Structure 1
Amino acid sequence: MINGRYYDWEHITLNLKGRTLVDVKSISYGDERGAEKVYGKGLRPRGYRLKRYSGKDGQVVLLREEYDRMLEDSEIQQKGLYNIDPFEIVVSYDKGDGNPKTDVLQDCIFTERSFDNIEEDGDELTVTLSFQYLSLKSNDQDALVE
């Protein structure tokens, strides 16, 4: 389609622990399956060997107000942010064309948090939560078919 509508921020919905997050600034995530060259006789590689699949670390940046709402979750209040059970993060991309895409980050755990922009002229207070996850499932095509 020429001059069609591309994804923008209003097309993205982020659910964390079954709750839709509203005040989200950004999210980043990815996965990988490495490869290594295999050498035999001679100077050039003879082939390659695949390594194990790995979900990369991710980050979500929230406005402080969204972070405070997230802390109202009963499990977080009882166990603390770093001790909650593994959870899913669902990222949905929907332009309203009847063809939504969904990425599901499975078995997530929080590993780090940082409080940003805490200064007199700071535009907005944000909290960055780093997380790890075991796998990424996408409805367009899984990178790894088991």
Structure 2
Amino acid sequence: MSLKVNGKAYDWGDVDVKFPGLALVVQEISYDDEMEMEESYGYGHRPRGYGTGNYKSSGKISLLRDDYEEFLAWCRAQGVPFYKLTIPSIVVSYANEGEKTHMDELKTVKLTKRSHKAAQGDKGLTVDIDMMIVGGIVTDGLEPA
């Protein structure tokens, strides 16, 4: 692994978000995952090991209101209510010019919450959509657990 000094870091212009069958323009995307872990104790005050629990992943996207309306129209055309929709895969890719493209795949995504906001002075209205990522987050082909 090489360390770049004074090189270009990834920025929003290097990110591409793809939904299957949709041409949505996403204003923001965030996602995270976690593996439950807990120390195991026996005699004394120090852990003698650890145990693992469940894996969990979730995320959020932000859309401009017009893109959100287009998304709802697409749901209507598919005959699927918003919260019944299952998105098989969302691919987030990023790369600097001339370098390898890296991809995160959010597998089997369910939509769990919509947040609408409008405030005085806003230059655009956005809708935030929370997601449950049932199939996990695969980074550059590496499964999470």
Per the shorter chain, which TM-score range?
Answer: 0.7 to 0.9
CA RMSD of aligned residues (A): 1.9
- Larger mean Cα displacement after TM superposition, 45-54 or 101-110: 45-54
Cα distance in 1 for partners of 2:142, 2:13 equals 23
Aligned to 2:85: 84
1:43 aligns with 2:39: no
Cα distance in 2 for partners of 1:103, 1:121 equals 35
- Note the 1:53-92 alignment, pairs <5 A: 53-55=55-57, 57-74=58-75, 78-92=79-93
- Note the 1:1-146 alignment, pairs <5 A: 1-22=4-25, 24-55=26-57, 57-74=58-75, 78-116=79-117, 118-134=118-134, 135-139=136-140, 141-144=142-145
Instruction: For residue 75 of structure 1, report the CA deviation from its aligned partner.
Output: 5.5
Number of equivalent positions: 141
Instruction: For residue 17 of structure 1, report the CA deviation from its aligned partner.
Output: 3.3
CA distances 1:54-91 after superposition (whole Å, capped 9, x unpaired)? 22x21101111211221221566522110123431111
One-letter code aligned to 2:24: L
Cα distance in 2 for partners of 1:126, 1:5 equals 29
Asked if the contact 1:13–1:20 (Cα under 8 Å) also holds between the matched residues in 2, the reply is: no
Instruction: Compute the TM-score of the two structures, normalised by the length of structure 1.
Output: 0.86
Which segments of 5 or more consecutive residues in structure 2 lack a partner in the other structure? Answer: none
Asked if the contact 1:75–1:84 (Cα under 8 Å) also holds between the matched residues in 2, the reply is: no
Percent identical pairs in the alignment equals 32
One-letter code aligned to 2:37: A
Change in 2 beyond 3 A, CA 1:143/1:74: closer
Instruction: Compute the TM-score of the two structures, normalised by the length of structure 2.
Output: 0.86
Which segments of 5 or more consecutive residues in structure 1 lack a partner in the other structure? Answer: none
Asked if the contact 1:14–1:20 (Cα under 8 Å) also holds between the matched residues in 2, the reply is: no
